[in-house]
Amino acid sequence: MRNFCVVVGAGLAGATAARILAEAGERVLVVEKLQHVAGHAYDEFNDDGMLIHIYGPHIFHTNNSNVFKFLSRFTEWHFYQHKVLSYVDGMLVPFPINRDTISQLFGLKISTNDVEKFLRREVENSEFKKPPENFEDVIISQIGRRLYEKFFMNYTRKQWNREPKELSAEVAKRIPIRSNRDGRYFSDRYQGLPKFGYTKMIEKMLDHSQISVLTNCDYFEIAEELKAKLVVYTGPLDEYFKNVYGKLEYRSLKFVFETYEREYYQPVGVVNYPNDYDWTRITEFKHLTGQKSDKTTICYEYPLEQGEPYYVVMSEKNMYKREQYMKEILKLEKTKEFLFIGRLAEYKYYNMDQVVARALEKISGWLKGV
């Protein structure tokens, strides 16, 4: 008898789905391949007592009050306004590009009112396809070639191991550019990190009498034994369908952590390195978490071709494969016995709040029979 639901993956998407189902009276089994819950948001204290994000920095930000209220049931917050600097031309300059960035780089004394005029001139003196067809075109159409080359061209080559022209224009939609002096990376209404870490928050989300969690277990090894009324899948899209339309590409990362006997290593939480060195950025976690210590831990990020999947690669070839897989998803979801939610399962870039919103929306719809 099919009297329970299976959630594949214990990250944000899976934990949200499991909690909503459990609160609606459903019995839920969460199956997680990793040895821990929280997915790529997993954090822990290292041997030096520093709270670090094992899979790279995660900063929560949203304008969605429903998502914020939902997560606030399971955590208090350390409110934090994220700031990023970029190491360009031997200087640490504000990123996203704003008035101060332009003033520092070009030695100009310009007002915030003049920033848009400056960028307009930069764009007019640059060549790109109109309308923009790819990542490179989109960025140049906003800031011109000079700033594109300083901040985006080589960073993109490092991050994706391909020419920016090969990436979809959609990738560039996530990049903020400002004409004022706002040095924050995000401008959302709600910003911060769970006060006691993402792992603790997700453990609380999964702490319900109707939820059982099985870690260190590959769903596909036990799938045939599980006769569930609903399967909520949050893992890699192509893996579910046994790569029938070909493997989808993901970019991975290598993280190298170092601890120093000093209060701080760098002036902000994240410093990007678009042109120098093999790493793309350095994160210093104390800035993010607000932790007080005489020590500090930093993390170097090195892009990899293979490994744990982090970023979908928005190339024309991958987007075509995704379309084929999404048609299969539609067929399965119409049966009301399957839901595919999240970055990996939908092969789509989502911020954390978007993942939670997507899970709330799809699970609520299923419960209502929509």
Q: Is residue 18 within 8 Å of 7, Cβ to Cβ?
A: yes
CB 285 within 8 A of CB 291: yes
> Residue 161 — very low, low, confident or very high, per pLDDT cuts 50/70/90?
very high
Judge whether residue 174 has pLDDT over 80. no
Higher per-residue pLDDT: 44 or 116: 44
Interval 294-316: pLDDT, tens: 999 999 999 999 999 999 998 88
**56-60, 164-168, 280-284: segment of lowest average pLDDT:** 164-168
Percent of the chain residues topping a pLDDT of 90: 91
Q: How far apart are CA 163 and CA 25, in angstroms?
A: 50
| pLDDT at residue 171, as a whole number | 80
Q: Which of 27-41, 68-82, 105-119 has the lowest mean pLDDT?
A: 105-119
> What pLDDT was estimated at residue 274?
97
Is the model more confident about 266 or about 171?
266
Measured between alpha carbons, how far is 351 from 333 in angstroms, rounded to an integer?
23
Q: In this model, does residue 1 exceed pLDDT 60?
A: no
For 1-37+206-248+313-370, CATH number out of 3.40.190.170, 3.40.50.300, 3.90.230.10, 3.40.50.720 equals 3.40.50.720
> How is 59-89 classified by DSSP, letter by letter?
-EEES-HHHHHHHHTS--EEE---BEEEEET
> Which of 136, 133, 348 has the alpha carbon at shortest distance from 248?
348
User: How far is Cα 53 from Cα 219, in angstroms, rounded to an integer?
Assistant: 25
pLDDT tens, position by position, 38-73: 999 999 999 999 999 999 999 999 999 999 999 999
Per-domain boundaries in the chain: 1-37+206-248+313-370, 42-83+185-199+250-312, 94-174
Q: Are 344 and 235 in contact (CB under 8 A)?
A: yes
The residue that leads in pLDDT, 170 or 93, is 93
User: pTM for the full model?
Assistant: 0.94
Residue 178 has pLDDT above 90, yes or no: no
For the chain, percent of residues with pLDDT exceeding 70: 99
- Phi-psi category of residue 144: left, alpha or beta, with phi > 0 → left and psi -120 to 50 → alpha: left
Q: What backbone torsions phi and psi does residue 21 show, to the nearest 5 degrees?
A: -60, -45
Measured over all CA atoms, what is the biggest interatomic distance in the chain, rounded to whole angstroms?
73
- Sign of the dihedral through C-alpha 88, 301, 137, 178: negative
- Rg of the chain over all Cα atoms, to the nearest angstrom: 22
Does position 205 have pLDDT exceeding 70, yes or no?
A: yes
Tens digits of residue pLDDT in 235-247: 999 999 999 999 9
- The per-residue DSSP string of 230-244 comes to EEEE-S-HHHHTTTT
User: How sure is the predictor about 248, in pLDDT bands with cuts at 50, 70 and 90?
Assistant: very high
Check if the beta carbon of residue 183 is closer than 8 Å to that of residue 2.
Answer: no
- Report which of 234, 326, 200 is spatially closest to residue 5, judged by C-alpha positions: 234
**8 Å CB contact between 279 and 92:** no
The residues with which 340 forms a beta bridge, in sequence order, are: 233
**Mean pLDDT score of the chain, rounded to an integer?**
95
